[in-house]
Amino acid sequence: MDELTTEEQIEYISLIYKIRQEQRTRLGIDKVYYFYNEDTTHHFHLWMVPRYEWMGQIGNSVESLRPVLLHARNHMNDEENMESVLEGITILRDGLIEK
């Protein structure tokens, strides 16, 4: 992150802002966890993990995120949910293209 130029920093934060705005307005996602990881060589990762209502059954703290992701992978990895994810991606992409 600290190797980004000023222009890259502005573009990066601007993109995160736009994605988050579209998540809220187009998909109704009110809460998101952000995780940043820089333990690889020459790049970094940012995860934006939306909090959905069903996740509250497992927990609402940051510690609940791993069990939530495991539950989703092990119990919600079906065609119906995949279609929903792809629809959300399309909605976000369309919103970002319009801006």
Q: By residue range, what is the domain housing residue 43?
A: 6-98
Question: How many separate domains does the chain show?
Answer: 1
Is 79 within the bounds of a domain?
Answer: yes
Alpha-carbon distances, residue 1 vs 9, 14, 48, 61, 87 (angstroms): 8, 15, 16, 26, 31
pTM: 0.83
Is 1 within the bounds of a domain?
Answer: no
pLDDT, tens digit (0-9, with 9 covering 90-100), for 26-76: 999 999 999 988 877 778 889 999 999 999 999 988 899 999 999 999 999
Is 68 within the bounds of a domain?
Answer: yes
pLDDT, tens digit (0-9, with 9 covering 90-100), for 71-85: 999 999 999 999 999
